[in-house]
Amino acid sequence: MTAFDVDEEKVGRPLSEAFTAPAISATAFTRLGEDSEAPVLPAPVLDGLAGPLGDLVRPAAAAREATQEDVAKALVDHEADVLVIVLPTGASQAIRMFAGAALAAGVAVVNATPEEVARDADIRRRFKEAGVVLLGDDLRSHVGATTLHTALIELMLSRGLVLGSTYQLNVGGNTDFLNLADTGRSATKFASKANALRAAGMTEVDGVAGPTGFVGHLADTKLCFASIKATSVLGSEVEIDLKLKVEDSPNAAGVIANAVRLGKAATDRGLSGTVDGASALLFKSPPHGLPESEARTAFLEFAS
């Protein structure tokens, strides 16, 4: 196992130390065990620190000199099976660099970011032709804003309601929300969430769904405020308003673990390219999205 970063507070240190180094605000819920001494290696900076993060993170000297070839070689040397890409939204060059390095190394990819990788037809084709598994895009949280939102949409449709308008407003205080406060960096996040709502059955998304504010003192707490309006029998109106509060980072941990298992299992079965159906439960914006209940069935069928 190994990890990659550009932050001088993390590069060159064992994972056990980098795990809690600034500017991480997440709670350390578990020990790292046998992987605690895994090295944190430098990765090319590219556009990873564009926007607000550039004022918070100082890149390591080694990261300024690192190349895609260095990343690919490290993946081979450390016998990686799956590469999880968890980079700032909007860092399109850096995210595609990691995907290219994994492809060169023959390592399966889990794209946890909203940037289009699995949805990109050309990248998808190259992974398919190379016999490498590609999963994504934009990891769903365990019980997060999008999962709750899409489940409610499916419920209302299953009861015969006609959907009207909706919104999903998210605020938080970690570095993810700091980065997303830059509208130039958050565009793909809004697009990804819109894809998820369409897959749930809201074919015309009338409203907003995405990050709408950075509140520093919230740290790793995420607040979601959502509303769905619909029309029921005899034209009567139904409206759901809700508030969801979660600790953001650990809310993704179990889903990442399942995505890694899916990537390894698909590789062991000789699959390549995207794994449609099974991916829909784990990602907001896979190439082929499904409503929540259908996605769960497809994932369990693959797992069995």
Q: How confident is the model at residue 168 (pLDDT cuts 50, 70, 90)?
A: very high
* Confidence (pLDDT) at 210: 96
Report the pLDDT averaged over residues 42-71: 96
pTM for the predicted model, two decimal places: 0.95
* Confidence (pLDDT) at 228: 96
Report the pLDDT averaged over residues 187-212: 91
* Confidence (pLDDT) at 147: 96
Nearest Cα to 191, choosing from 122, 96, 90?
A: 90
Nearest Cα to 226, choosing from 202, 256, 250, 254?
A: 202
Peptide bond into 23 cis (omega under 30): yes
Q: How confident is the model at residue 60 (pLDDT cuts 50, 70, 90)?
A: very high
Q: How confident is the model at residue 26 (pLDDT cuts 50, 70, 90)?
A: confident
Q: How confident is the model at residue 12 (pLDDT cuts 50, 70, 90)?
A: very high
- Report CA 284 to chain centroid distance, whole Å: 8
Which CATH number applies to 145-248: 3.40.120.10, 3.90.1300.10, 3.30.360.10, 3.40.50.80?
3.30.360.10
Q: How confident is the model at residue 183 (pLDDT cuts 50, 70, 90)?
A: very high
Helix (H, G, I), strand (E, B) or coil at 200: helix
Task: Provide the sign of the torsion angle of the four alpha carbons 253, 259, 262, 268, taken in this order.
Answer: negative
- Report CA 276 to chain centroid distance, whole Å: 17
Which CATH number applies to 3-140+252-303: 3.20.20.10, 3.40.50.720, 1.10.3720.10, 3.90.79.10?
3.40.50.720
Is the predicted pLDDT of residue 101 greater than 90, yes or no? yes
Q: What are the extents of the domains in the chain?
A: 3-140+252-303, 145-248
Is the predicted pLDDT of residue 67 greater than 80, yes or no? yes
The tens digit of pLDDT for each residue in 109-161 reads 999 999 999 999 999 999 999 999 999 999 999 999 999 999 999 999 999 99
Q: How confident is the model at residue 41 (pLDDT cuts 50, 70, 90)?
A: very high
Helix (H, G, I), strand (E, B) or coil at 81: coil
Is the predicted pLDDT of residue 205 greater than 80, yes or no? no
The tens digit of pLDDT for each residue in 170-181 reads 999 999 999 999
Is the predicted pLDDT of residue 28 greater than 90, yes or no? no
Q: How far apart are CA 199 and CA 286, in angstroms?
A: 10
Q: How far is CA 286 from CA 30, 33, 107, 281, 295, in A?
A: 30, 32, 19, 9, 11
Nearest Cα to 276, choosing from 148, 141, 139, 136?
A: 136
Mean pLDDT of the chain: 96
* Confidence (pLDDT) at 161: 96
Q: How confident is the model at residue 27 (pLDDT cuts 50, 70, 90)?
A: confident
Is the predicted pLDDT of residue 91 greater than 90, yes or no? yes
* Confidence (pLDDT) at 207: 83
Q: How far apart are CA 267 and CA 90, in angstroms?
A: 28
Candidate from 30-44, 176-190, 289-303 with smallest mean pLDDT: 30-44
The tens digit of pLDDT for each residue in 234-287 reads 999 999 999 999 999 999 999 999 999 999 999 999 999 999 999 999 999 999
